[in-house]
Amino acid sequence: MLEDYAKVQPVAFQIMKNTVKKDRISHAYLIETNGFSQKKDFVFAFAKYLLCPFHHLQSDETCFICRHQNAENILDLKWIEPDGMWIKKEQLEDVQKEFNKTAIDGNKKVYVIEEAEKLNASSSNSILKFLEEPEENIIAILMVDNIYQLLPTIISRCQIIHLNQDDDKNLLYLDSNTNEIVDVVYHFMEHIEVHKKETLLYENTLWISHFCTKEDVSNALTVLIYFYKDIFNVLVNKRIEKFSYYKKELENLSLKNTVESVCTKIDIIRNKLEQIKININLNLLIDDLIIQLSEV
Ligand SMILES: [Zn+2]
């Protein structure tokens, strides 16, 4: 039940609760799962919460929605997983047909798309069509591990809910506004945004002298991703999530970027984060990072 996640996912829990309590149920939710291990159970709990006529937060054995432990047993809930490599258009059409059959009862209906990054061109199109002309009483929930894996046109039409990672130790750094790492990473990013490849000449002072070990570098790159995520938030008029104390600076840097360029940059940094796990020369990795970010 949704209440079970109040402590592990406090922000998402609050948003989900408010969406119902304040009568602001959206026709589409995009849940960025961030590797959260209980993502399926959590989204199932959210779907039940939306469907339950009493919006029970806690388990209620007498409730015909809440008592179910499996999505398959709830008529007004459809759970779509990739069929092989992709989520196919036919899978979405089947759900639509099913829902049309029972539309007369006037109940809310929810469909969940797990691994929404596996929508192919034609299934993306049918989702977009739904998002543009939503049907009354039908709610879509898209799950994706990382929001940047989806088309910006899909992202912009959904209410986005971010989940925390299981062990988000990197977030500890970000709690303190005066943290040195955050500051160093900010200046590194700003330098690349303004001076592009010239940053290579200052790499030593800007980066290498601060981050020596694999762990340092991977923490700093994670902070860098969060900075670009916040630039993304500025660009799509969403609230700055992590670095509100850099609001002015991030607004300035957003002028140098587009939604697409920010997504590409985040992808580049994520790739570098993956490469750290393999044995790799850290200085060369940062050289490469600067060059690639400058070329976007
Ligand atoms: Zn209920």
- Condensed to tens digits (0 to 9), the pLDDT of residues 101-144 reads 887 777 899 999 999 999 999 999 999 998 998 888 999 999 99
Higher-confidence position of 9 and 124: 124
Q: How far does residue 135's CA lie from ligand 1's centre (Å)? A: 23
Q: How far does residue 46's CA lie from ligand 1's centre (Å)? A: 11
Q: How far does residue 220's CA lie from ligand 1's centre (Å)? A: 44
CB 30 within 8 A of CB 128: no
Q: Give residues with Cβ within 8 angstroms of 189, minimum separation 6.
A: 224, 227, 228, 253
Q: How far does residue 172's CA lie from ligand 1's centre (Å)? A: 36
- pLDDT (tens digit per residue) in 225-252: 989 989 988 988 888 888 888 999 999 9
Q: How far does residue 24's CA lie from ligand 1's centre (Å)? A: 19
Q: How far does residue 36's CA lie from ligand 1's centre (Å)? A: 25
- pLDDT (tens digit per residue) in 248-258: 999 999 999 99
Higher-confidence position of 267 and 33: 33
- pLDDT (tens digit per residue) in 43-93: 999 999 999 999 999 988 899 999 999 999 999 999 999 999 999 999 999
Domains and CATH numbers, the chain: 2-162 (3.40.50.300), 170-295 (no CATH)
Q: How far does residue 68's CA lie from ligand 1's centre (Å)? A: 10
Predicted TM-score (pTM) of this structure: 0.62
